[in-house]
């Protein structure tokens, strides 16, 4: 095997490790570089198997990316709140719901 083939296999292992630790953006970079190594190996050796591995790596990575979905947003933010912050938020929401009528304000008079 050439250096490109070994580097591609090592980068696929790195990609899976980064995905396991939740470092998705670094895994994106590892996937792109690994596929580039496999494509380079396949092109230099005229080996369609290696080119297929490069395409399969990208397809597998995209399938995993779509499976896990995007950011988890609200649920993560709610869990991160402490008890005091949660009580403060609930109190503000309760007061706003109790206040049904808007506060009276002076309307600006037109100048003549």
Cα(73)–Cα(80) distance, integer angstroms:
11
Cβ-based neighbour number of residue 17 at 10 Å: 13
What integer pLDDT is reported at residue 13 of this predicted model?
92
Predicted confidence at residue 14, as pLDDT, reads: 92
- Please, is 14 exposed, middle or buried when counting C-beta atoms within 10 Å of its C-beta (0-12, 13-18, 19+)? middle
Q: What is the pLDDT of residue 17?
A: 93
| pLDDT for position 35 | 84
Low pLDDT (below 70) residues in the chain: 1, 69-81, 100-105, 107, 109-112
């Amino acid at each position: 095997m050439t250096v490109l083939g070994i580097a591609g296999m090592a980068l696929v292992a790195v990609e899976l490790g980064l995905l396991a630790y939740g470092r998705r953006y670094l895994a994106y970079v590892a996937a792109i570089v690994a596929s580039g190594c496999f494509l380079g190996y396949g092109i230099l050796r005229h080996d369609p198997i290696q080119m297929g591995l490069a395409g399969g790596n990208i397809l597998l990575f995209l399938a995993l990316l779509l499976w896990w979905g995007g950011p988890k947003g609200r649920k993560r933010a709610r869990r991160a709140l402490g008890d005091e912050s949660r009580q403060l938020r609930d109190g503000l929401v309760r007061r706003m719901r109790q206040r049904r009528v808007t506060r009276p304000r002076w309307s600006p008079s037109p100048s003549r």
